[in-house]
Amino acid sequence: MEFKTLTGDLITSPCLVLGIFEDELKGDAKPQSDLVQQLDRAGNGWLTSLFNQGDITGELEQTLLLQKVPGIASERILLVGCGKTTKFKLYNARKAITAAIQALKKHRIPAATWTLHQHLPQDLSKDLAQDKKIYNWVWENLLRIRDLNYRFERFKSEAKPPKRPLTEITFWNDIAAQDATLKAIQHGQATANGVQLTKDLANLPGNICTPTYLAEQAQTLATEIPKLQVNILEKPELEKLGMGAFLGVAQGSRQDPKLILMEYRNADSATKPVVLVGKGITFDSGGVSLKPGDAMDEMKFDMSGAASVFGTIKACSDLQLPINLIGIVPATENMPGDNAIKPGDILTSMSGTTIEVLNTDAEGRLILCDALTYSAKFNPDVVIDIATLTGACVVALGHHPSGLLTNDDDLAAKLMEASNNSGDRLWQLPLWEDYSPQMKSNFADIANIGERMGGGAITAASFLAHFTKKLRWAHLDIAGTAWLSGAKKGATGRPVPLLTYYLLQRCNLN
Protein backbone atom coordinates (compact mmCIF):
# COMPACT_ATOMS: atom_id res chain seq x y z
CA MET A 1 0.00 0.00 0.00
CA GLU A 2 1.29 3.42 -0.96
CA PHE A 3 1.12 6.68 1.01
CA LYS A 4 1.73 10.13 -0.43
CA THR A 5 1.37 13.73 0.66
CA LEU A 6 -0.15 16.71 -1.05
CA THR A 7 -0.12 20.37 -0.05
CA GLY A 8 -1.75 23.44 -1.57
CA ASP A 9 -4.80 23.35 -3.79
CA LEU A 10 -6.68 20.14 -3.97
CA ILE A 11 -6.45 18.77 -7.44
CA THR A 12 -8.76 16.03 -8.54
CA SER A 13 -8.93 12.92 -6.37
CA PRO A 14 -10.77 9.62 -6.82
CA CYS A 15 -12.20 10.20 -3.35
CA LEU A 16 -11.82 12.97 -0.83
CA VAL A 17 -12.29 11.74 2.75
CA LEU A 18 -13.80 14.50 4.83
CA GLY A 19 -14.53 14.60 8.57
CA ILE A 20 -17.87 16.13 9.58
CA PHE A 21 -18.71 17.16 13.14
CA GLU A 22 -22.18 16.99 14.62
CA ASP A 23 -22.19 20.46 16.12
CA GLU A 24 -21.21 22.15 12.86
CA LEU A 25 -24.27 20.80 11.11
CA LYS A 26 -26.85 21.67 13.75
CA GLY A 27 -29.50 24.19 12.69
CA ASP A 28 -28.13 26.93 10.52
CA ALA A 29 -24.67 26.77 12.05
CA LYS A 30 -21.99 27.33 9.46
CA PRO A 31 -19.60 24.49 8.88
CA GLN A 32 -16.66 25.14 11.18
CA SER A 33 -13.79 23.47 9.45
CA ASP A 34 -11.98 25.48 6.77
CA LEU A 35 -11.98 22.57 4.43
CA VAL A 36 -15.74 22.02 4.53
CA GLN A 37 -16.34 25.76 4.12
CA GLN A 38 -14.02 25.88 1.13
CA LEU A 39 -15.75 22.98 -0.60
CA ASP A 40 -19.14 24.43 0.22
CA ARG A 41 -18.23 27.73 -1.43
CA ALA A 42 -16.85 25.95 -4.49
CA GLY A 43 -20.21 24.25 -4.93
CA ASN A 44 -22.27 27.41 -4.19
CA GLY A 45 -23.70 25.98 -0.99
CA TRP A 46 -24.41 22.51 -2.36
CA LEU A 47 -22.94 20.84 0.74
CA THR A 48 -24.92 23.08 3.10
CA SER A 49 -28.11 22.14 1.32
CA LEU A 50 -27.21 18.48 1.66
CA PHE A 51 -26.58 18.92 5.38
CA ASN A 52 -29.91 20.73 5.76
CA GLN A 53 -31.59 17.76 4.16
CA GLY A 54 -30.38 15.79 7.17
CA ASP A 55 -29.01 12.65 5.51
CA ILE A 56 -25.83 13.04 7.49
CA THR A 57 -25.69 14.58 10.93
CA GLY A 58 -22.03 14.10 11.75
CA GLU A 59 -22.79 11.45 14.33
CA LEU A 60 -19.75 9.33 15.14
CA GLU A 61 -19.00 6.59 12.55
CA GLN A 62 -21.69 7.74 10.09
CA THR A 63 -20.48 7.69 6.50
CA LEU A 64 -21.99 9.00 3.30
CA LEU A 65 -20.49 8.65 -0.15
CA LEU A 66 -21.21 11.53 -2.52
CA GLN A 67 -20.63 11.31 -6.24
CA LYS A 68 -19.82 14.18 -8.58
CA VAL A 69 -20.44 17.06 -6.19
CA PRO A 70 -21.02 20.31 -8.11
CA GLY A 71 -17.99 22.61 -8.29
CA ILE A 72 -15.61 19.95 -7.00
CA ALA A 73 -13.11 18.25 -9.26
CA SER A 74 -12.84 15.09 -7.17
CA GLU A 75 -14.96 12.19 -8.37
CA ARG A 76 -16.25 11.37 -4.90
CA ILE A 77 -16.41 12.74 -1.40
CA LEU A 78 -16.68 10.39 1.56
CA LEU A 79 -18.20 12.21 4.52
CA VAL A 80 -17.24 10.68 7.85
CA GLY A 81 -19.08 11.47 11.07
CA CYS A 82 -16.66 12.47 13.82
CA GLY A 83 -19.20 13.17 16.58
CA LYS A 84 -19.17 16.36 18.66
CA THR A 85 -16.10 18.61 18.37
CA THR A 86 -16.01 18.87 22.17
CA LYS A 87 -15.78 15.09 22.45
CA PHE A 88 -13.17 14.56 19.76
CA LYS A 89 -10.60 12.58 21.69
CA LEU A 90 -8.50 9.58 20.68
CA TYR A 91 -11.32 7.13 21.38
CA ASN A 92 -13.72 8.81 18.93
CA ALA A 93 -11.01 9.70 16.44
CA ARG A 94 -9.95 6.06 16.16
CA LYS A 95 -13.55 5.03 15.55
CA ALA A 96 -13.88 7.62 12.77
CA ILE A 97 -10.73 6.35 11.05
CA THR A 98 -12.01 2.78 11.16
CA ALA A 99 -15.42 3.79 9.79
CA ALA A 100 -13.77 5.68 6.94
CA ILE A 101 -11.54 2.79 5.88
CA GLN A 102 -14.40 0.31 6.09
CA ALA A 103 -16.50 2.54 3.84
CA LEU A 104 -13.67 2.93 1.31
CA LYS A 105 -13.31 -0.84 1.21
CA LYS A 106 -17.03 -1.46 0.96
CA HIS A 107 -17.36 0.94 -1.97
CA ARG A 108 -14.23 -0.51 -3.59
CA ILE A 109 -12.47 2.82 -3.85
CA PRO A 110 -8.85 2.15 -4.85
CA ALA A 111 -7.32 5.50 -3.91
CA ALA A 112 -8.31 8.31 -1.61
CA THR A 113 -7.20 11.70 -0.36
CA TRP A 114 -7.18 11.65 3.42
CA THR A 115 -7.89 14.66 5.64
CA LEU A 116 -8.96 13.03 8.90
CA HIS A 117 -5.41 13.34 10.25
CA GLN A 118 -5.86 17.12 10.26
CA HIS A 119 -8.25 16.86 13.20
CA LEU A 120 -5.97 16.36 16.18
CA PRO A 121 -7.71 14.62 19.11
CA GLN A 122 -7.78 16.79 22.24
CA ASP A 123 -6.01 14.23 24.39
CA LEU A 124 -3.27 13.48 21.84
CA SER A 125 0.28 13.65 23.21
CA LYS A 126 -0.52 16.40 25.69
CA ASP A 127 2.16 19.09 26.13
CA LEU A 128 4.04 18.22 22.98
CA ALA A 129 4.93 20.64 20.19
CA GLN A 130 2.51 20.85 17.27
CA ASP A 131 4.96 19.16 14.89
CA LYS A 132 5.33 16.18 17.16
CA LYS A 133 1.56 15.92 17.54
CA ILE A 134 1.16 15.87 13.77
CA TYR A 135 3.90 13.27 13.44
CA ASN A 136 2.29 11.03 16.08
CA TRP A 137 -1.18 11.35 14.64
CA VAL A 138 -0.18 10.72 11.01
CA TRP A 139 1.84 7.73 12.22
CA GLU A 140 -1.21 6.33 14.02
CA ASN A 141 -3.56 7.05 11.09
CA LEU A 142 -1.20 5.21 8.76
CA LEU A 143 -0.77 2.20 11.04
CA ARG A 144 -4.53 1.90 11.50
CA ILE A 145 -5.13 2.12 7.76
CA ARG A 146 -2.53 -0.58 7.04
CA ASP A 147 -3.97 -2.68 9.86
CA LEU A 148 -7.50 -2.54 8.44
CA ASN A 149 -6.23 -3.35 4.96
CA TYR A 150 -4.41 -6.54 6.05
CA ARG A 151 -5.54 -9.91 4.73
CA PHE A 152 -4.32 -13.44 5.47
CA GLU A 153 -5.43 -15.92 2.84
CA ARG A 154 -2.49 -18.27 2.55
CA PHE A 155 -4.60 -21.32 3.32
CA LYS A 156 -7.76 -20.46 1.40
CA SER A 157 -7.82 -22.69 -1.66
CA GLU A 158 -9.82 -20.04 -3.49
CA ALA A 159 -8.36 -16.79 -2.30
CA LYS A 160 -10.63 -13.94 -3.22
CA PRO A 161 -8.57 -10.79 -3.42
CA PRO A 162 -10.74 -7.68 -3.57
CA LYS A 163 -11.59 -6.66 -7.13
CA ARG A 164 -10.48 -3.10 -6.59
CA PRO A 165 -8.28 -3.11 -3.49
CA LEU A 166 -7.46 0.08 -1.62
CA THR A 167 -3.86 0.72 -2.64
CA GLU A 168 -3.18 4.43 -2.24
CA ILE A 169 -3.81 7.07 0.40
CA THR A 170 -2.71 10.68 -0.01
CA PHE A 171 -2.43 12.76 3.16
CA TRP A 172 -3.50 16.29 2.27
CA ASN A 173 -1.89 18.94 4.52
CA ASP A 174 -0.98 22.52 5.03
CA ILE A 175 2.56 23.22 3.92
CA ALA A 176 3.54 23.74 7.58
CA ALA A 177 2.67 20.12 8.36
CA GLN A 178 4.54 18.68 5.42
CA ASP A 179 7.86 17.74 7.07
CA ALA A 180 6.26 16.01 10.04
CA THR A 181 3.86 14.19 7.74
CA LEU A 182 6.58 12.92 5.41
CA LYS A 183 8.65 11.68 8.33
CA ALA A 184 5.64 9.94 9.86
CA ILE A 185 4.87 8.23 6.56
CA GLN A 186 8.42 6.95 6.19
CA HIS A 187 8.56 5.68 9.77
CA GLY A 188 4.99 4.41 9.74
CA GLN A 189 5.43 2.43 6.54
CA ALA A 190 8.53 0.63 7.84
CA THR A 191 6.72 -0.11 11.10
CA ALA A 192 3.65 -1.39 9.27
CA ASN A 193 5.89 -3.72 7.25
CA GLY A 194 7.17 -5.10 10.54
CA VAL A 195 3.61 -5.44 11.85
CA GLN A 196 2.66 -7.32 8.70
CA LEU A 197 5.51 -9.81 9.11
CA THR A 198 4.51 -10.33 12.74
CA LYS A 199 0.87 -10.95 11.81
CA ASP A 200 1.84 -13.32 8.99
CA LEU A 201 3.97 -15.43 11.34
CA ALA A 202 1.57 -15.37 14.29
CA ASN A 203 -1.44 -16.29 12.15
CA LEU A 204 0.21 -19.50 10.94
CA PRO A 205 -1.12 -22.75 12.38
CA GLY A 206 1.02 -24.78 14.75
CA ASN A 207 1.50 -27.60 12.27
CA ILE A 208 3.27 -25.23 9.85
CA CYS A 209 4.86 -22.76 12.23
CA THR A 210 7.07 -25.12 14.24
CA PRO A 211 10.30 -24.11 15.99
CA THR A 212 12.19 -25.32 12.91
CA TYR A 213 10.00 -23.18 10.65
CA LEU A 214 10.64 -20.10 12.80
CA ALA A 215 14.38 -20.76 12.64
CA GLU A 216 14.17 -20.99 8.84
CA GLN A 217 12.23 -17.73 8.72
CA ALA A 218 15.00 -16.05 10.72
CA GLN A 219 17.54 -17.33 8.22
CA THR A 220 15.42 -16.04 5.33
CA LEU A 221 15.23 -12.64 7.02
CA ALA A 222 19.02 -12.62 7.25
CA THR A 223 19.31 -13.07 3.48
CA GLU A 224 17.10 -9.99 3.03
CA ILE A 225 18.88 -7.83 5.60
CA PRO A 226 22.64 -7.54 5.07
CA LYS A 227 23.31 -6.24 8.58
CA LEU A 228 21.46 -9.14 10.20
CA GLN A 229 23.32 -12.23 11.39
CA VAL A 230 21.35 -15.26 12.43
CA ASN A 231 22.52 -18.18 14.55
CA ILE A 232 20.42 -21.15 15.54
CA LEU A 233 21.39 -23.06 18.67
CA GLU A 234 20.28 -26.70 18.50
CA LYS A 235 19.42 -29.07 21.33
CA PRO A 236 23.00 -30.33 22.00
CA GLU A 237 24.23 -26.75 22.35
CA LEU A 238 21.34 -25.91 24.66
CA GLU A 239 22.29 -28.91 26.78
CA LYS A 240 25.89 -27.70 26.91
CA LEU A 241 24.67 -24.27 28.05
CA GLY A 242 22.64 -25.96 30.78
CA MET A 243 19.28 -24.57 29.71
CA GLY A 244 17.38 -27.14 31.75
CA ALA A 245 14.22 -25.04 32.09
CA PHE A 246 13.86 -24.42 28.35
CA LEU A 247 14.72 -28.05 27.53
CA GLY A 248 12.30 -29.27 30.17
CA VAL A 249 9.40 -27.63 28.34
CA ALA A 250 10.62 -28.95 24.99
CA GLN A 251 10.92 -32.59 26.09
CA GLY A 252 7.19 -33.27 25.78
CA SER A 253 7.22 -32.52 22.06
CA ARG A 254 8.45 -34.32 18.94
CA GLN A 255 9.59 -31.00 17.55
CA ASP A 256 13.18 -30.04 18.34
CA PRO A 257 13.59 -26.79 20.25
CA LYS A 258 15.58 -23.97 18.69
CA LEU A 259 17.20 -20.96 20.27
CA ILE A 260 17.07 -18.36 17.52
CA LEU A 261 19.63 -15.57 17.75
CA MET A 262 19.28 -12.54 15.48
CA GLU A 263 21.89 -9.80 15.57
CA TYR A 264 21.23 -6.58 13.71
CA ARG A 265 24.38 -4.49 14.08
CA ASN A 266 24.33 -0.99 12.65
CA ALA A 267 26.28 0.91 15.33
CA ASP A 268 29.90 0.63 16.39
CA SER A 269 30.79 -2.42 18.41
CA ALA A 270 31.21 -0.38 21.60
CA THR A 271 27.53 0.59 21.55
CA LYS A 272 25.64 -1.61 23.98
CA PRO A 273 22.78 -3.42 22.28
CA VAL A 274 19.09 -3.49 23.00
CA VAL A 275 18.06 -7.12 23.44
CA LEU A 276 14.53 -8.28 22.66
CA VAL A 277 13.51 -11.69 23.98
CA GLY A 278 10.34 -13.17 22.47
CA LYS A 279 8.33 -16.08 23.84
CA GLY A 280 8.22 -18.63 21.01
CA ILE A 281 5.77 -21.35 22.09
CA THR A 282 4.51 -22.45 18.67
CA PHE A 283 1.63 -24.27 20.36
CA ASP A 284 0.70 -24.30 24.03
CA SER A 285 -1.43 -27.31 24.91
CA GLY A 286 -0.62 -26.75 28.57
CA GLY A 287 1.45 -29.94 28.64
CA VAL A 288 0.46 -32.57 31.21
CA SER A 289 -1.45 -29.77 33.01
CA LEU A 290 -3.60 -29.82 29.89
CA LYS A 291 -5.64 -26.77 28.97
CA PRO A 292 -9.42 -27.02 28.58
CA GLY A 293 -10.59 -27.43 24.98
CA ASP A 294 -12.34 -24.10 24.69
CA ALA A 295 -10.53 -21.83 22.19
CA MET A 296 -7.44 -23.97 22.51
CA ASP A 297 -6.73 -23.27 18.82
CA GLU A 298 -5.78 -19.75 19.89
CA MET A 299 -2.71 -21.16 21.59
CA LYS A 300 -1.06 -21.20 18.15
CA PHE A 301 -0.63 -17.47 18.87
CA ASP A 302 1.59 -18.27 21.86
CA MET A 303 4.60 -17.36 19.71
CA SER A 304 3.35 -13.81 19.17
CA GLY A 305 6.16 -12.40 21.31
CA ALA A 306 8.67 -14.14 19.06
CA ALA A 307 6.85 -12.89 15.98
CA SER A 308 7.03 -9.32 17.33
CA VAL A 309 10.80 -9.65 17.66
CA PHE A 310 11.01 -10.63 13.98
CA GLY A 311 8.74 -7.72 13.02
CA THR A 312 10.60 -5.14 15.09
CA ILE A 313 13.94 -6.20 13.63
CA LYS A 314 12.46 -5.91 10.15
CA ALA A 315 11.09 -2.42 10.85
CA CYS A 316 14.40 -1.22 12.32
CA SER A 317 16.38 -2.55 9.41
CA ASP A 318 13.97 -0.93 6.91
CA LEU A 319 14.62 2.31 8.79
CA GLN A 320 18.37 1.58 8.94
CA LEU A 321 18.35 2.61 12.59
CA PRO A 322 21.89 3.20 13.85
CA ILE A 323 21.60 0.76 16.74
CA ASN A 324 22.70 -2.70 17.75
CA LEU A 325 19.59 -4.80 18.20
CA ILE A 326 19.65 -8.44 19.27
CA GLY A 327 16.67 -10.77 19.06
CA ILE A 328 16.57 -13.94 21.18
CA VAL A 329 13.75 -16.40 20.57
CA PRO A 330 13.45 -19.63 22.55
CA ALA A 331 11.15 -21.67 20.32
CA THR A 332 9.41 -24.90 21.28
CA GLU A 333 6.00 -26.53 21.55
CA ASN A 334 4.45 -27.21 24.94
CA MET A 335 3.02 -30.73 24.53
CA PRO A 336 2.04 -33.61 26.83
CA GLY A 337 4.18 -36.25 25.07
CA ASP A 338 5.21 -39.38 26.98
CA ASN A 339 8.52 -37.78 27.89
CA ALA A 340 6.88 -34.54 29.03
CA ILE A 341 7.70 -32.89 32.34
CA LYS A 342 5.18 -33.57 35.08
CA PRO A 343 3.91 -31.49 37.97
CA GLY A 344 6.44 -31.88 40.76
CA ASP A 345 9.42 -32.28 38.44
CA ILE A 346 12.43 -30.15 39.29
CA LEU A 347 14.45 -28.45 36.54
CA THR A 348 17.83 -26.76 36.81
CA SER A 349 17.91 -23.50 34.88
CA MET A 350 20.95 -22.07 33.11
CA SER A 351 21.44 -19.70 36.05
CA GLY A 352 21.71 -22.65 38.44
CA THR A 353 18.42 -21.83 40.17
CA THR A 354 16.32 -24.98 40.57
CA ILE A 355 12.64 -24.76 39.69
CA GLU A 356 9.82 -26.96 40.89
CA VAL A 357 7.27 -27.26 38.09
CA LEU A 358 3.92 -27.15 39.86
CA ASN A 359 2.00 -26.51 36.66
CA THR A 360 3.35 -27.41 33.22
CA ASP A 361 1.08 -24.76 31.68
CA ALA A 362 3.24 -22.05 33.23
CA GLU A 363 5.81 -22.85 30.54
CA GLY A 364 6.46 -19.37 29.16
CA ARG A 365 8.44 -18.30 32.19
CA LEU A 366 10.48 -21.53 32.02
CA ILE A 367 11.73 -20.91 28.49
CA LEU A 368 12.13 -17.16 29.09
CA CYS A 369 14.21 -17.49 32.25
CA ASP A 370 16.94 -19.32 30.36
CA ALA A 371 16.76 -16.92 27.40
CA LEU A 372 17.00 -13.96 29.81
CA THR A 373 20.00 -15.50 31.57
CA TYR A 374 21.61 -16.01 28.16
CA SER A 375 20.94 -12.38 27.17
CA ALA A 376 23.55 -11.12 29.67
CA LYS A 377 26.22 -12.48 27.32
CA PHE A 378 25.54 -9.58 24.94
CA ASN A 379 26.35 -6.98 27.63
CA PRO A 380 23.05 -5.25 26.87
CA ASP A 381 22.03 -1.70 27.63
CA VAL A 382 18.44 -2.89 28.16
CA VAL A 383 16.60 -6.19 27.78
CA ILE A 384 12.91 -6.28 26.93
CA ASP A 385 10.98 -9.53 26.85
CA ILE A 386 7.69 -9.83 25.02
CA ALA A 387 5.39 -12.70 25.92
CA THR A 388 1.81 -13.94 25.83
CA LEU A 389 2.53 -14.91 29.40
CA THR A 390 -0.61 -14.95 31.52
CA GLY A 391 -4.38 -15.17 31.26
CA ALA A 392 -4.29 -13.15 34.49
CA CYS A 393 -2.99 -10.14 32.55
CA VAL A 394 -6.11 -10.32 30.37
CA VAL A 395 -8.25 -10.47 33.51
CA ALA A 396 -6.46 -7.41 34.91
CA LEU A 397 -6.26 -5.21 31.82
CA GLY A 398 -8.54 -6.63 29.14
CA HIS A 399 -7.49 -6.33 25.52
CA HIS A 400 -6.45 -2.68 25.29
CA PRO A 401 -3.04 -2.18 26.88
CA SER A 402 -0.21 -4.67 27.19
CA GLY A 403 1.10 -5.11 30.73
CA LEU A 404 4.44 -3.49 31.57
CA LEU A 405 6.56 -4.69 34.47
CA THR A 406 10.12 -3.52 34.94
CA ASN A 407 12.98 -3.21 37.41
CA ASP A 408 14.13 0.13 36.00
CA ASP A 409 12.26 3.44 36.42
CA ASP A 410 14.05 5.16 33.56
CA LEU A 411 13.19 2.35 31.15
CA ALA A 412 9.59 2.48 32.40
CA ALA A 413 9.42 6.20 31.61
CA LYS A 414 10.82 5.70 28.11
CA LEU A 415 8.46 2.87 27.33
CA MET A 416 5.48 4.80 28.68
CA GLU A 417 6.46 7.74 26.51
CA ALA A 418 6.44 5.44 23.48
CA SER A 419 3.14 4.02 24.68
CA ASN A 420 1.54 7.48 24.87
CA ASN A 421 2.81 8.54 21.47
CA SER A 422 2.55 5.42 19.34
CA GLY A 423 -1.09 4.46 19.87
CA ASP A 424 0.15 1.00 20.99
CA ARG A 425 -0.57 1.25 24.68
CA LEU A 426 0.98 -0.15 27.85
CA TRP A 427 -0.17 -0.08 31.45
CA GLN A 428 2.36 -0.51 34.21
CA LEU A 429 1.82 -3.04 36.99
CA PRO A 430 3.87 -3.10 40.20
CA LEU A 431 6.79 -5.46 40.57
CA TRP A 432 7.08 -5.24 44.34
CA GLU A 433 9.00 -7.81 46.34
CA ASP A 434 5.76 -8.44 48.23
CA TYR A 435 4.71 -10.81 45.46
CA SER A 436 7.84 -12.99 45.44
CA PRO A 437 7.18 -15.17 48.51
CA GLN A 438 4.16 -16.60 46.66
CA MET A 439 6.58 -18.69 44.62
CA LYS A 440 8.19 -20.52 47.52
CA SER A 441 8.88 -24.20 46.97
CA ASN A 442 9.39 -26.84 49.64
CA PHE A 443 11.69 -28.81 47.34
CA ALA A 444 13.51 -26.46 44.96
CA ASP A 445 14.75 -22.85 44.97
CA ILE A 446 11.48 -21.56 43.53
CA ALA A 447 8.22 -22.86 42.10
CA ASN A 448 6.96 -21.93 38.67
CA ILE A 449 3.56 -20.75 39.90
CA GLY A 450 2.45 -18.74 42.89
CA GLU A 451 -0.01 -19.72 45.57
CA ARG A 452 -3.55 -18.76 44.73
CA MET A 453 -3.36 -15.22 46.01
CA GLY A 454 -4.24 -13.36 42.82
CA GLY A 455 -1.96 -11.09 40.84
CA GLY A 456 -0.97 -13.82 38.37
CA ALA A 457 0.52 -11.42 35.83
CA ILE A 458 2.72 -9.97 38.54
CA THR A 459 3.85 -13.27 40.07
CA ALA A 460 4.82 -14.44 36.56
CA ALA A 461 6.88 -11.27 36.09
CA SER A 462 8.36 -11.72 39.59
CA PHE A 463 9.50 -15.16 38.54
CA LEU A 464 11.31 -13.60 35.56
CA ALA A 465 12.69 -10.82 37.76
CA HIS A 466 14.53 -13.49 39.74
CA PHE A 467 16.66 -14.07 36.63
CA THR A 468 17.20 -10.43 35.59
CA LYS A 469 18.59 -8.92 38.77
CA LYS A 470 21.73 -7.70 37.00
CA LEU A 471 19.91 -6.35 33.94
CA ARG A 472 17.95 -3.21 33.11
CA TRP A 473 14.92 -5.17 32.14
CA ALA A 474 11.28 -4.76 31.15
CA HIS A 475 8.64 -7.40 30.56
CA LEU A 476 5.67 -6.84 28.25
CA ASP A 477 2.76 -9.21 28.84
CA ILE A 478 0.88 -9.22 25.53
CA ALA A 479 -1.59 -12.03 26.33
CA GLY A 480 -4.53 -9.63 25.84
CA THR A 481 -3.18 -7.59 22.93
CA ALA A 482 -1.34 -9.91 20.53
CA TRP A 483 -4.48 -11.24 18.88
CA LEU A 484 -8.21 -10.71 18.54
CA SER A 485 -10.78 -13.45 19.23
CA GLY A 486 -14.25 -14.00 17.81
CA ALA A 487 -15.27 -12.93 14.31
CA LYS A 488 -12.10 -10.90 13.86
CA LYS A 489 -9.84 -13.69 15.11
CA GLY A 490 -6.27 -12.97 14.09
CA ALA A 491 -2.93 -11.54 15.10
CA THR A 492 -2.64 -7.78 15.72
CA GLY A 493 1.10 -7.33 15.21
CA ARG A 494 1.38 -5.62 18.59
CA PRO A 495 3.65 -4.47 20.18
CA VAL A 496 5.76 -3.83 17.06
CA PRO A 497 4.55 -0.20 16.80
CA LEU A 498 5.42 0.43 20.45
CA LEU A 499 8.87 -1.16 20.21
CA THR A 500 9.74 0.53 16.92
CA TYR A 501 8.61 3.89 18.30
CA TYR A 502 10.77 3.30 21.39
CA LEU A 503 13.81 2.46 19.26
CA LEU A 504 13.26 5.51 17.00
CA GLN A 505 13.05 7.54 20.21
CA ARG A 506 16.41 6.15 21.38
CA CYS A 507 17.90 7.45 18.13
CA ASN A 508 16.20 10.87 18.55
CA LEU A 509 14.50 10.38 15.22
CA ASN A 510 10.86 11.03 16.14
Q: Is 388 in the site for ligand BES (CB under 6 A)?
A: yes
The angle at the Cα of 231, spanning 230 to 237, to the nearest 5 degrees, equals 170
Q: Is 477 in the site for Zn ion (CB under 5 A)?
A: no
State the Cα–Cα distance between residues 309 and 493, nearest whole angstrom: 10
Q: Is 140 in the site for ligand BES (CB under 6 A)?
A: no
The distance of closest approach from Cβ of residue 397 to ligand BES in the complex, given in angstroms and rounded to an integer, is: 12
Choose the one of ligand BES, Zn ion, Mn ion, none that binds residue 372, judging by a C-beta under 5 to 8 angstroms depending on kind.
none
Q: Is 48 in the site for ligand BES (CB under 6 A)?
A: no
Q: Is 284 in the site for Mn ion (CB under 5 A)?
A: yes
Among positive and negative, which fits the CA dihedral 26, 31, 33, 35? positive
Backbone angles phi, psi at 157, to 5 degrees: -70, -25
The angle at the Cα of 420, spanning 418 to 424, to the nearest 5 degrees, equals 75
Q: Is 401 in the site for Zn ion (CB under 5 A)?
A: no
Distances (CA, A) of 66 to 16, 55, 481: 10, 11, 37
Q: Is 302 in the site for Zn ion (CB under 5 A)?
A: yes
In the complex with ligand BES, the residue whose CB is nearer, 208 or 395, is: 395
Q: Is 333 in the site for ligand BES (CB under 6 A)?
A: no
Q: Which of 77, 479, 491, 503 binds ligand BES (CB under 6 A)?
A: 479
What lies within 8 Å, CB to CB, of 101 at 6+ separation is 144, 145, 148, 149, 166
Distances (CA, A) of 432 to 32, 77, 309, 362, 418: 51, 54, 27, 21, 23
The region of 21-29, 343-351, 359-367, 433-441 touching Mn ion under the rule CB under 5 A is: 359-367
The distance of closest approach from Cβ of residue 363 to Zn ion in the complex, given in angstroms and rounded to an integer, is: 6
Convert residues 261-300 into a mask of x (bound to ligand BES by CB under 6 A) and - (unbound): -----------------------x----------------
Q: Is 392 in the site for ligand BES (CB under 6 A)?
A: yes
> Is-contact 179 13, C-beta < 8 A?
no
Determine the distance from the C-alpha atom of residue 284 to the mean position of all C-alpha atoms in its chain, rounded to a whole number: 21
Helices (H), 43-89: 46-53
Q: Which of 300, 365, 425, 506 is catalytic?
A: 365
Choose the one of Mn ion, Zn ion, ligand BES, none that binds residue 40, judging by a C-beta under 5 to 8 angstroms depending on kind.
none
State the Cα–Cα distance between residues 403 and 396, nearest whole angstrom: 9
The distance of closest approach from Cβ of residue 246 to Mn ion in the complex, given in angstroms and rounded to an integer, is: 14
In the complex with ligand BES, the residue whose CB is nearer, 24 or 477, is: 477
Q: Is 361 in the site for Mn ion (CB under 5 A)?
A: yes
Helices (H), 26-74: 34-42, 46-53
474 class by beta-carbon count within 10 Å (0-12 exposed, 13-18 middle, 19+ buried)? buried
Instruction: Say whether 291 is catalytic.
Output: yes
Q: Is 363 in the site for ligand BES (CB under 6 A)?
A: yes
In the complex with ligand BES, the residue whose CB is nearer, 24 or 302, is: 302
Instruction: Say whether 4 is catalytic.
Output: no
In the complex with ligand BES, the residue whose CB is nearer, 314 or 365, is: 365
State the Cα–Cα distance between residues 262 and 354, nearest whole angstrom: 28
Strand partners, 483: 491
Q: Which of 362, 386, 496, 503 binds ligand BES (CB under 6 A)?
A: 362
Q: Which of 354, 359, 436, 505 binds ligand BES (CB under 6 A)?
A: 359
The distance of closest approach from Cβ of residue 219 to Zn ion in the complex, given in angstroms and rounded to an integer, is: 25
Choose the one of Mn ion, Zn ion, ligand BES, none that binds residue 441, judging by a C-beta under 5 to 8 angstroms depending on kind.
none
Distances (CA, A) of 159 to 120, 152, 154: 38, 9, 8
DSSP per-residue codes, 95-163: HHHHHHHHHHHHTT--EEEE-GGGS--TTSSTT--HHHHHHHHHHHHHHHHHHHT----TT-TT----S
Q: Which of 74, 193, 317, 390 binds ligand BES (CB under 6 A)?
A: 390
Catalytic residues: 291, 365
Residues that bind Mn ion (CB under 5 A): 284, 361, 363
Residues that bind ligand BES (CB under 6 A): 284, 302, 359, 361-364, 388-392, 394, 449, 456, 479
Residues that bind Zn ion (CB under 5 A): 281, 284, 302, 364
